């Protein structure tokens, strides 16, 4: 099981109540399932609109269950924002 950091930006940061937290998961889907369990409510809604970067690479339309997470890696949670 890989361990790393999830970083939240803008509305995701506000909904999570933190700028970052650790993950322990093999895939992005597993990491996001854990996030939803730890932060039910607004963050779950915000995540539906977010895009994700894993170690700097856009996830795009790939299934989250196919995106492997690396030991010491970083997941960036990027909600849509005005002008960007």
Phi, psi angles (nearest 5°) of residue 74: -135, 135
pLDDT at 58: 96
Q: For the residues 14-41, what does the mean pLDDT come to?
A: 96
Phi, psi angles (nearest 5°) of residue 69: -105, 145
What is the band of 81 on the pLDDT scale with cuts at 50, 70, 90? confident
Residues 74 and 17: their CA atoms lie apart, in Å, by 18
Of 10, 34, 7, 42, the residue nearest 21 (C-alpha): 7
Residues 27 and 80: their CA atoms lie apart, in Å, by 23
pLDDT at 31: 98
pLDDT of 32-49, one tens digit each? 999 999 999 999 999 999
What is the band of 80 on the pLDDT scale with cuts at 50, 70, 90? confident
Q: Looking at the chain, how many residues does it have?
A: 84
Residues 43 and 29: their CA atoms lie apart, in Å, by 15
- Does this model's pTM top 0.85? yes
pLDDT at 29: 98
């Amino acid at each position: 099981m890989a361990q790393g950091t999830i970083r939240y930006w803008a509305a995701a940061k506000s909904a999570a109540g933190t700028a970052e937290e650790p993950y322990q998961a093999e895939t992005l889907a597993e990491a996001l399932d854990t996030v939803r369990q730890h932060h039910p409510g607004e963050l779950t809604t915000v995540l539906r609109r977010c895009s994700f970067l894993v170690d700097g690479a856009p996830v795009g339309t790939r299934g989250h269950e196919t995106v492997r997470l690396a030991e010491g890696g970083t997941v960036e949670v990027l909600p849509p924002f005005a002008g960007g």
